[in-house]
Structure 1
Amino acid sequence: MLDGFVGRIDALVADIEQASSHNTALLGSLQLGLLGLAIGGTVALVYLIILLVVRPVLSLQEGVQRMEQEDFSARVPVESEDEFGDLARGFNRMAAHLQDLYATLEQRVEEKTRHLEARNRELALLYGVSSSLEEPGNIETLCRGFVQAVLPAIGADAASIRMIDPQTQQIHLFVHEGLQPGFITKERCLAQGECLCGASAWTGQTLAQTFPAKDKFPYACEAAGYRSVWILPIAVQKQRLGLFNLYFREARELMPQEQRLLETLVQHLGIAIENRQLVSRERELAVSEERNLLAQELHDSIAQSLAFLNLQAQMLRRSIESGEQEQALAELAQIREGIQESYDDVRELLVHFRLRPGASEFEETVRSALEKFEGQTGIHTHLQISGVGMPLTTEQQLQVLHIVQEALSNVRKHASATKVTVEIQRGETYRIEVRDDGCGIDPRRLEDGGGHVGLKIMRERAHRIGATMDILSTPHKGTSVRLLLPLLQREAA
């Protein structure tokens, strides 16, 4: 029984050993399978990394290296739709753009160079014309210089400037360059609305016409052999002054930049013409005012003296006819005295209107005038100068000198003085005073400044330069003519 029990136990142990061996073998197989899977997964992962990461990066690196070597034809293959695919497409777009830029670089450099050269020519023309317009000269010289400067710069065959008569509104050919004599004769005078020039003057707009024209009108420009004409109005503040014409024998279109440049130049020309006209009007006004003042001075001095001489001549004739010799001699002496006084007045007026002091010669001119006055009249003169101040302008100096001259003339004629003092005190306000020790002036004559044209003229001259003039006089104690001229009014003006 015991042997059977042991056998069963041996059989059980053998079964257990067999099962354990089988499980051990199965476990080894599983371990080998897991090891194989691990090795295969690793290999697959490495392959995927190489395929999906390393290859795109290497392609991008190769493309960058080719770009560094200025090979702008380099492209990266797009093998996926992920981030590396987007990066590859972006690199390809960048490479294509750089390749296009590099291919057109020389052309764009040439274009920019031509553009800069054109701009430099425009600036040089604008500067040259602006400089020439600042040079002194009359309107004809101004316009002729403008035409001669613009004509070669634009490449035109001929050019002209026409001026508009403000009274009749007719358009007159003023200056020209390169036009044919027959064309000049035919186009010398036009009416507003007539031909292309008249149309531009009427509308105030720039016109560019290429022939043959569609309207088939017989334009003189076309008959003269010109294929294109540009017409630019010369205007300042909506006031049309004239026209600037450019003529071309070949068809030429007006480019926008050329139109802007020409309109700018013509605007400068219009301003320069207006300035010349204003200067001319100002000179005419100044001459007219001086003539009026001269007429008043002549009326106050020479005219009255001649009237007195006329009366004395009539009295002399009656004395001669009546045989009153002594009376005739006395009247003759008065006539000679009147003639001498008239001569002195004329000489004084001539010196008066020849005064043209410079910026630093004002005080010397006053001193010279006093020396001449003392030499002619024998009246002692004295000049006092004090203070520091800005120099007077030429107009202020001239008017002050005229006032001083008129005051000295009154001293010679009416004061019976023995001494005259002229005091000049510089400062923010100039004070010029002429004092004498003569018989003085009747106060009734100073109440309204009337009774003596010379006093009115002195006040007019003072008012012209913004000064105030006072006349202080005491009978038998002398007269003082005081002029106060503030310099700050120039800054306000």
Structure 2
Amino acid sequence: MNSSEDALPASRHSIVLHTTLAFVIIIGVTLASMLGGLYMADAIEGDAAAINKAGSLRMQSYRLALLADLGNPLELSEAVDEFEHTLQAPVLLQALRRHRNQPLTELHQRTLRHWALQMRPLLTSQPVDSAGFRREVTPFVQELNQFVGTLQVQSEGKLEVIRALQVGTLFVTVLIAFVVVYGIHNNLVTPLKELVSLARQIGRGHFRVKANYQGDNELGLLAATLNQMSDELANLYEHLERKVDEKTAALQRSNQSLQLLFNSARALYTCPDEPTALIGSLLAGVQNTLKSGPVSLCLNSDPAFGSHTAISSVNLQPPEYCSLPDCDQCPVKQTGVTPGGAQTLSFPLRANNTELGSLRVEQTVGERLEDWQQQLLATLADLFAASLGLSRLGQQQARLALMEERAVIARELHDSLAQALSYQKLQLTRLKKQIANQHPSEALETTLGEIQGGLNAAYRQLRELLTTFRIKMDAPGLAPAVQATIKEFGSHSGVEIDLDYALGHCPLSPNEEIHCLQILREALSNVIKHAQAKHCRLALYQDRQGIVHIRVDDDGIGIPTLESPGGHYGLSILHERAGSLHGRVEVGRRPEGGTRVHLTFLPDYRRINVTPEPDTAPAEPLALRSP
């Protein structure tokens, strides 16, 4: 048997049982009253007829006295027979049997004896003794009156019993009904009102309301169950409220963490060159989000040589315990505890397996960071490390670009100006020998003219190199630089230059863009200086095989020869730059007149380096074909 069955009220305290018992009592009393009334009604059935019969004996007695005086024997005989028949009438005999009362029976027997012994002989004697009969009539009638009165009293007594039975039944019924109504009001209506009020309060969310009714019955069990349910609902509601508050707080923390990460990433993206100061300005927001102690950042170029920067979230200065540049004396590295007694937790900043420093947070000794705080600090450490790593990578790439640019300048100077000056140095040595050997003035003037022409050519090459070196790729892509170049050459040359640019979809590398631009400038310079052209057309496009075409056409006099004249290195420079692009350049005359410079190369993004299979020849780079 379970606990709920054990908690059921006992039968003697059951409202249902009490109510049923009350109705059973009412029904029982009513049935008893009805049965008693039926019995008593059956007991007095025929009493009225018997009383009438008994009353008629008095009248018949006076009639017999009258007939005795008249002297009519026949009528008197019939009247005597009728009197005897009435005296022994079945109605009277049944009434005597129903009542079974000793006085009533004795009165009837005495009346019979009086009639048989005294009254009837006076009427049957010859002659009839009418005078004696008249004397006996009066006592006989008195006996009859006494008999009738006794019978009437017996019948009325039974009627009183019926009346008393009905009144008693009514009283008992009313009493029981009053008790039932009182019990229902106290044990059913009032508790039900209280339970209904409790249910409404629970429905409104007031789970701490209690039912005061106590009883060992069904409503008492219901009240106790509702109280228990209310307590459980209150505890569950409070538990759910705590859970909702915890989830809300967790969501708010997550939102703040995500907002911090987003703001940090956006800020670092806008300042990728030197993010150290920007990271320092973010530390206060990190501390505010974590609700922790001061947050500090310690950066180093090489872990073996100590740190170079330390920033705290308090005042963007090194922490009070910091010993820069003597990092070996740092208490954090020695004990992990600051002089103020705070425990320091460090999160390393690593980028490409390089230790860049650490992100530190001060906490009370023994106080542990929550999981979300550790996760946020680890994520911020990775974000800061990535930003610092990208900054260092950008600086390294800038150094490499500077070194490459210096190598390009050196190569350009060596291939053009240095050779021209070296040739003029030989010419100067030749002039000295001519002067020493006393050559004719005509020969000396010829040599001087060649030296002067060579110097002028070298000076022009120097200016072209300076112009080329000053090219800036400020705007993204090759198109702005090409348009700027066309504007530069077309503004003072008188040559109309048209542009057909179709490389907007082609992501060329910066090195490829520089070489393409230098080739275009060299080709345009040759058009303006040597072609005597009025129109020039530039076409830049990519074919279906992914090969980039750069074509410069003019309507000038056409190139006379494909070999560079002495002291001129323009064509050789074009071929060298095309070789740097792993392409080729073709220079020739156009059938319709003029010259065409045509550069073709496969850009780096369309090349796939295929690793050769063992024992096979190396594969050439493949070009990605457009679908």
Please tell me the TM-score bracket, short chain as reference: 0.5 to 0.7
Structure-2 change in CA distance of 1:178 and 1:286 (3 Å): closer
CA distance in 2, matches of 1:315, 1:372: 42
TM-score (norm 2): 0.55
Any idea what the Cα deviations from partners look like across 1:431-489, whole Å, max 9, x if unmatched? Answer: 7532244326649xxxxxxx93432314535x7xxxx77535249965323458999x8
Residue number in structure 2 paired with 1:233: 348
What is the deviation of 1:348? Answer: 0.9
CA distance in 2, matches of 1:20, 1:427: 141
Residue number in structure 2 paired with 1:405: 521
| Aligned residue among 296, 299, 305 for 1:159 | 296
| Aligned residue among 225, 237, 255 for 2:369 | 255
Residue number in structure 2 paired with 1:58: 193
Structure-2 change in CA distance of 1:409 and 1:426 (3 Å): closer
Residue number in structure 1 paired with 2:572: 452
SS of alignment partner, residue 324 of structure 2: helix
Residue number in structure 1 paired with 2:268: 133
AA partner of residue 369 (structure 1)? E
| Aligned residue among 4, 7, 10 for 2:88 | 10
1:229·1:245 contact (CA, 8 Å) conserved in 2?
A: yes
Structure-2 change in CA distance of 1:252 and 1:403 (3 Å): farther
AA partner of residue 517 (structure 2)? L
Structure-2 change in CA distance of 1:19 and 1:343 (3 Å): farther
2:348·2:357 contact (CA, 8 Å) conserved in 1?
A: yes
After TM superposition, the structure 1 = structure 2 runs for residues 34-433 of structure 1, keeping only pairs within 5 Å, are 42-43=177-178, 46-47=181-182, 49-63=184-198, 72-80=208-216, 82=218, 85-86=221-222, 88-91=224-227, 93-94=229-230, 126=261, 129-136=264-271, 137-147=273-283, 150=286, 156=293, 159-163=296-300, 165=302, 171-176=306-311, 177-180=317-320, 183-187=323-327, 197=333, 219=335, 222=338, 224-236=339-351, 240-247=355-362, 251=365, 253-256=367-370, 257-325=372-440, 326-356=442-472, 359=475, 362=481, 364-371=483-490, 374=493, 381-385=495-499, 395=510, 399-409=515-525, 416-419=530-533, 421-424=535-538, 432-433=550-551
1:234·1:267 contact (CA, 8 Å) conserved in 2?
A: yes
2:497·2:537 contact (CA, 8 Å) conserved in 1?
A: yes
Higher strand share: 1
| Aligned residue among 434, 452, 458 for 2:552 | 434
Provide structure 2 residue ranges, at least 5 long, that are not aligned to the other structure: 1-76, 101-154, 312-316, 564-570, 607-623
Segment of structure 1 superposing worse, 385-394 or 80-89? 385-394
1:470·1:481 contact (CA, 8 Å) conserved in 2?
A: yes
SS of alignment partner, residue 323 of structure 1: coil
CA distance in 1, matches of 2:89, 2:353: 132
Any idea what the Cα deviations from partners look like across 1:388-424, whole Å, max 9, x if unmatched? Answer: 98599995865543221122355578xx422275434
What is the deviation of 1:243? Answer: 1.2
AA partner of residue 322 (structure 1)? N
Segment of structure 1 superposing worse, 335-344 or 386-395? 386-395
Residue number in structure 1 paired with 2:36: none
SS of alignment partner, residue 419 of structure 2: helix
What is the deviation of 1:97? Answer: 5.8
Residue number in structure 2 paired with 1:208: none
SS of alignment partner, residue 172 of structure 1: coil
Structure-2 change in CA distance of 1:86 and 1:320 (3 Å): farther
Structure-2 change in CA distance of 1:113 and 1:357 (3 Å): closer
Any idea what the Cα deviations from partners look like across 1:291-350, whole Å, max 9, x if unmatched? Answer: 343333333312321332233233323322322243332222222222211111111111
SS of alignment partner, residue 469 of structure 2: helix
SS of alignment partner, residue 424 of structure 2: helix
CA distance in 2, matches of 1:352, 1:230: 55
CA distance in 1, matches of 2:483, 2:237: 75
What is the deviation of 1:90? Answer: 2.2
SS of alignment partner, residue 307 of structure 2: strand
Structure-2 change in CA distance of 1:57 and 1:151 (3 Å): closer
Any idea what the Cα deviations from partners look like across 1:146-169, whole Å, max 9, x if unmatched? Answer: 45665677664573413252xx75
Structure-2 change in CA distance of 1:238 and 1:387 (3 Å): closer
CA distance in 2, matches of 1:357, 1:421: 26
1:75·1:95 contact (CA, 8 Å) conserved in 2?
A: no
Aligned-residue Cα RMSD (Å) equals: 5.2
CA distance in 2, matches of 1:307, 1:299: 10
What is the deviation of 1:5? Answer: 11
SS of alignment partner, residue 306 of structure 1: helix
1:66·1:74 contact (CA, 8 Å) conserved in 2?
A: no
AA partner of residue 77 (structure 1)? Y
1:139·1:276 contact (CA, 8 Å) conserved in 2?
A: yes
Any idea what the Cα deviations from partners look like across 1:50-91, whole Å, max 9, x if unmatched? Answer: 355323211124446778797955434242453773355324
CA distance in 2, matches of 1:385, 1:140: 45
AA partner of residue 12 (structure 1)? P
Aligned-residue sequence identity (percent) comes to 20
1:470·1:482 contact (CA, 8 Å) conserved in 2?
A: yes
SS of alignment partner, residue 452 of structure 2: helix
CA distance in 1, matches of 2:589, 2:390: 50
AA partner of residue 471 (structure 2)? L
CA distance in 1, matches of 2:201, 2:590: 111
AA partner of residue 326 (structure 2)? K
CA distance in 1, matches of 2:465, 2:375: 55
Structure-2 change in CA distance of 1:410 and 1:401 (3 Å): same
2:349·2:381 contact (CA, 8 Å) conserved in 1?
A: yes
Provide structure 1 residue ranges, at least 5 long, that are not aligned to the other structure: 198-217, 375-379, 444-450
What is the deviation of 1:143? Answer: 4.5
CA distance in 2, matches of 1:239, 1:182: 23
What is the deviation of 1:34? Answer: 6.6
Q: How many pairs align?
A: 441
Structure-2 change in CA distance of 1:86 and 1:164 (3 Å): farther
Structure-2 change in CA distance of 1:254 and 1:69 (3 Å): closer
CA distance in 2, matches of 1:327, 1:226: 94
Residue number in structure 2 paired with 1:210: none
SS of alignment partner, residue 213 of structure 2: coil
AA partner of residue 521 (structure 2)? Q
What is the deviation of 1:233? Answer: 0.8
